[in-house]
């Protein structure tokens, strides 16, 4: 547990922009706009550090999570996937254990959001892809602008989503069939479809400004009551989500060793259509 600190004492992050809208409301923006806020390891780690520090701020009452530039988040950085070091072993068990260790570190980054004791409002615009949806899934409230395009795109990259999309979102959406469709295909879907399935709850042209106003309203309520509400609402889901996150660690320990992943990354980088071997 970090010692108590105030918002003004947060470090200057290279890939996060922090704005204080009041002593009780912080806006955290993914700040890698030239890369469409794609999630590489430094951004993941700064996100984890930031939210752990915010959790130690006794004045904080609500957070708005947004993205700088043209979009909220383009998902995990493909270059990060392509640059994973090769292990000096062919032992499947040892490779799997290493994969699981690395995955656990990434899961800690998104779980830092769920462990924040105050509400988080996601203000989504432009595009919200893959890892961006993972991050949004751990926010309490998700709003977007009308032109946002969403995609749970891990399947296109030969991946089984392991940071929240398949572990937390199914407990939030109300249209299981539509959700499975977008997960199995990796296709883009609109803000209206996201609204229909319950992934988001409001579509508005001024999403960031309105999210900040909502955060200020929440901050005006009893912080003890709001924290208690969040704790109670999270309680029924905490164990199932934790179990699902642990299970996907074990599952992806061998699924991530597939040649499909390598072929998908190469196809993405060269703008080709990948071909896959039989199951």
In 3D, which of 75, 193, 211, 206 has the Cα closest to residue 141? 211
Instruction: Tell me, yes or no, if 124 is annotated catalytic.
Output: no
Closest CA to 183 of 214, 204, 162, 205: 162
Hey, how many other C-beta atoms are within 10 angstroms of the C-beta on 156? 18
C-alpha span between 153 and 64 (Å, rounded): 24
**In the annotation, is 140 catalytic?**
no
Residue 169: φ, ψ to 5° = -60, -40
> Which position among 67, 126, 131, 158 bears the catalytic label?
131
Verify whether residue 18 is a known catalytic residue: no
Distances (CA, A) of 243 to 78, 83, 159, 191, 256: 27, 29, 19, 30, 19
Which is catalytic among the residues 57, 140, 145, 162? 162
DSSP 107-126: HHHHHHHHT-SS-EEEEE-S
131 a catalytic residue = yes
Which among 83, 96, 74, 95 has a CA at the least distance from the CA of 156?
74
Name the CA radius of gyration of the chain, rounded.
19
Our CA angle for 131, 219, 58, nearest 5°, is 80
Burial 104-116 (b: 16+ CB within 10 A, else e): eebbebbbbbbeb
Which residue in 57, 77, 145, 154 is the catalytic one? 154
Give the active site residue among 57, 67, 76, 265. 76
Cβ proximity of 42 and 11 under 8 Å? no
Q: Is 193 helix (H, G, I), strand (E, B) or coil?
A: helix
Catalytic: 76? yes
Residues forming the active site:
76, 131, 134, 154, 162
């Amino acid at each position: 547990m970090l010692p108590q600190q105030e918002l003004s004492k947060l470090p200057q992050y290279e890939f996060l922009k922090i704005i204080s809208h009041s002593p009780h409301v912080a806006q955290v923006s993914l700040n890698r706009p030239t890369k469409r806020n794609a999630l590489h390891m430094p951004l993941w780690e700064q996100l984890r550090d930031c939210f752990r520090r915010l959790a130690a701020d006794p004045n904080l009452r609500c957070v708005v999570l947004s993205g700088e530039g043209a979009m909220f988040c383009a998902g995990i950085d493909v270059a990060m996937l392509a640059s994973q070091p090769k292990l000096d072993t062919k032992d499947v068990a040892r490779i799997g254990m290493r994969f699981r260790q690395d995955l656990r570190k990434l899961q800690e980054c998104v779980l830092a959001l769920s462990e924040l004791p105050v509400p988080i409002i996601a203000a989504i615009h432009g595009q919200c892809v893959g890892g961006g949806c993972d991050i949004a899934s751990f926010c309490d409230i998700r709003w977007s602008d009308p032109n946002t395009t969403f995609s749970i795109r891990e399947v296109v990259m030969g991946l089984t989503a392991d940071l929240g999309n398949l572990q937390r979102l199914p407990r939030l959406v109300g249209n299981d069939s539509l959700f499975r469709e977008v997960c199995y295909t990796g296709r883009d879907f609109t803000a209206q479809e996201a609204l229909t399935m319950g992934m988001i709850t409001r579509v508005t042209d001024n999403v960031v400004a309105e999210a900040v106003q909502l955060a200020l309203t929440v901050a005006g309520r009893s912080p003890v009551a709001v924290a208690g509400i969040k704790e109670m609402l999270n309680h029924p889901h905490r164990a199932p989500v934790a179990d699902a996150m642990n299970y996907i660690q074990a599952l992806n320990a061998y699924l991530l060793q597939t040649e499909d992943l390598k072929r998908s990354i190469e196809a993405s980088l060269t703008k080709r259509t990948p071909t896959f071997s039989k199951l």
